[in-house]
Amino acid sequence: MAVRVIMHVDFDYFYAQCEEIRNPIMRTKPVCVCVYSDRGGDSGAIATANYIARKYGVKSGMPISFAKRKLAGADDAEFIPVDFKYYSQVSEESMEEISKFADVFEYVGRDEAYLDVGARTEFDFDAAARLGQQIKNSVRTKTKIGCSIGISPNRMISKIASDYKKPDGLTIVRPDSVDSFLEPLKIVKIPGIGKKTEQKLSKMGLKTISDLKSADLFLLTKEFGRKSGTYIYNAARGVDEEPVKERAPRIQYSRIVTLSEDSGSYEFLKENLTRICSDVHGTVMENRQMFKVVGVQFVKSDLSIMSRSRTLKSPTASAYELQKNAEYLLAETLKSQGANMSVRRLGVMVTELSDARGQSDITSFFKP
């Protein structure tokens, strides 16, 4: 079987870069794109910061008030509210351009995508490198967006590679250089390994991917479970057989609100959840669609994000089904998180949408 040639394209500091394109004077300033809460003032968090702001220590997820303290010495710092409609427009135009270069194109999110380019490059990594540069040039010409690209034999390595030389990077990892590329890197560079897993591995004396390769599969599955342990074991060896799958942008309807107070009370959260479900259901009905997946998102007091979802047996447009499943997810999440769960923002989303042609689901006749 021929070696695959997979690209991961990642837009650099996407939201902030969009703001720099809209207003070029921003390119010389620290720019923070912010998700402001409904509480007013500086309540909220940083969505994305440009590289000038990052030099001051500003990071995504940081409270806006903290970021302003970090940038206290920068009189020209800009704090801009998110404009998702504009960012989606730039993303759609850029993704449309990128997809022209792929044998198989997989949309992942507003700012990233995977491409299988094996056939058109004839599995030649030199040709793939030239194609990667062509993609970068083409996107910058069409939408002015700069991106970083990783190219390797699989998805996982390409994702790591796209982050290797940001911004405006192009990193090629040929099959014979996988080990030399991966081994010096910190374990946290492996997609899916977060700080908690990294800390646990560090306590086991494992800090680099080279260290991780020495770990026994049995030990990893014992510590992290069969699925996660096997993934970690294979990832350290650069093994990832998952193919690039044709996927269009996922469409969803959602609403998230900042609560009047941080709370872990089921009754308080349920009351807010009911109003959010009503808003989301109104959007579903307005657009004459049905949904098959219900999700609930929690932004906790420490600004960490958690989400839970349920897939229904069949598509529905029922407000009752939306409310019932959202309440179930709320109760299960509070139960699993324990008494320390404190929620700052609460959201509801529906996805796997389909057009409501006729009356395909009897529950659509009923209202709660």
Q: What is the pLDDT of residue 44?
A: 84
Q: What are phi and psi of 4, to 5 degrees?
A: -75, 155
pLDDT of residue 362: 31
Beta bridge partners of 147: 11
CATH topology of domain 252-365: Dna Ligase; domain 1 (3.30.1490)
Q: What is the pLDDT of residue 61?
A: 83
The 10s digit of each residue's pLDDT in 229-272 is: 999 999 999 999 999 988 755 567 899 999 999 999 999 999 99
Burial 265-289 (b: 16+ CB within 10 A, else e): eeeebbebbeebbeebbeebeeeeb
129-140 burial code (b ≥16 CB/10 A, e <16): bebbeebbeebe
Strand order in the sheet with 104-109: 104-109, 112-116, 6-11, 147-152, 170-172
User: How far is Cα 201 from Cα 193, in angstroms, rounded to an integer?
Assistant: 10
- Rounded to two decimals, the pTM is 0.71
pLDDT (tens digit per residue) in 207-238: 999 999 999 999 999 998 998 899 999 999 99
Class of domain 1-182: alpha beta
Count of residues for the chain? 368
Task: Return the CATH number of the domain spanning residue range 185-236.
Answer: 1.10.150.20
Catalytically active residues, by annotation: 112
List Cβ neighbours of 276 (8 Å cut-off, separation of 6 or more). Answer: 255, 256, 257, 326, 346, 347, 348
Domain ranges for the chain: 1-182, 185-236, 252-365
Task: Decide if pLDDT at 30 tops 90.
Answer: yes
Using pLDDT thresholds of 50, 70 and 90, give the confidence band for residue 355: low
Lowest mean pLDDT among 20-24, 163-167, 169-173, 289-293: 289-293
Average of per-residue pLDDT values in the chain: 89
| pLDDT tens, position by position, 120-155 | 999 999 999 999 999 999 999 999 999 999 999 999
